[in-house]
Amino acid sequence: MILRIFGMSFVITIAALIAAFFYGGPTAVVLTLILGVLEVSLSFDNAVINATVLRRMSEFWQKMFLTVGIVIAVFGMRLVFPLAVVWLASGLNPIQALDLALNPPANGAEYFADGSPSYETIITDAHPQIAAFGGMFLLMLFLGFIFDDKEITWLSWIERPLIRIGKLEQLPVIIATGLLVITATFIAHEDETATVMIAGALGMITYIAVNGLGEMFHTDDEADDDTRSGPSDLAKVAGKAGFFLFLYLEVLDASFSFDGVIGAFAITADPIIIALGLGLIGAMFVRSLTVFLVRQGTLSDYVYLEHGAHWAIGALAVILMYSIGTPVPEIVTGLVGVVLILASFLSSVLRLRRAKAVETV
């Protein structure tokens, strides 16, 4: 089971390291490996959330996520996305943006001799709008989960009161909008207020649209089962809701990727190494971990993992919004997620032990 699920990830890791060696020698290999480890450590909560969605999808859409989805993750988010940011921010065409990325200023300077900004500087300057979009998308995901009525709660002392007040319609939108206004007004720099507001609003709109479409088709399918015969629910999910769940997963993966892509520039600005480390190694292992969680039924046994992942998402969303005005070290972002996931896992283990103890009595 382990070899079958993670085997391809190990093969691609070896291939990526070999490619890195031929591209930039031993230094490139080390940087690629560091970026791969960074991506996996920062994205465990992403894998848990992906697994909660993936287990609802048919085998066809699961394969699409693991094939087409990985192409989007590697080339779309880790290579094309940074180039697109440079293209839009500087007015350079994609070829010029790639040339800028591959030929940075000497001695790691932020600007060239003619005063034009480097590739890394342009990406870093675009952080406020990137963080606002990703932060709002992830915050909406967190609020949607935490206010939803659930039979099982992890941090019951806070989750149960939140479920009660969550009956107020559109409360997640109200809270997210309020936080966006506070961020744009008091955290973002004065010249970035409008940019942060627009990017954050687009993040919220994207979540509402993609999530709403998925829920609409899923609900319609369930209703159809009671009124007419036809394709099975699984087949209809593959044909309708499956597509929107796939789209939802891709947007979710993109939102998780923002902080990793930006954080990668603290290690290297080379887009090829970033694509090899974050994309090929990191993204592949995150997807393998997602499949492992689904195949092993881990989320059914360790029921608090989903809660811990969502709390980690909420923390990441707040960190992203705060980072618009004040840089936050990647180690902080990673540790917060790891601590919450680990705490929820240990709580799940204790719950299983108590349940087994009761059964043996």
End-to-end CA distance of the chain: 33
Residue with tokens 């709660």: 153
CA torsion, ordered 9, 11, 14, 17, to nearest 10 deg: -60
| Predicted local distance difference test score (pLDDT) of residue 19 | 93
Helix, strand, coil content of the chain in percent (nearest 5): 80, 0, 15
pLDDT at 174: 93
pLDDT value at position 222?
Answer: 43
**Residue 117, SS3 per DSSP:** strand
Q: Long-range CB contacts (< 8 A, 24+ apart) of 349-352?
A: 349/302, 351/303, 351/304, 352/301, 352/302
What is the structure's pLDDT at 74? 67
Tokens of 184: 């744009």
Q: Average pLDDT for consecutive 10-residue bins of the chain (361 residues)? A: 80 92 90 83 76 79 79 73 73 78 75 80 84 89 89 90 86 94 92 92 88 60 40 46 77 71 70 82 83 80 87 89 86 80 90 81 62
Amino acid (1-letter code) at residue 353:
R
Contact 348, 305 (CB under 8 A): yes
pTM here is 0.78
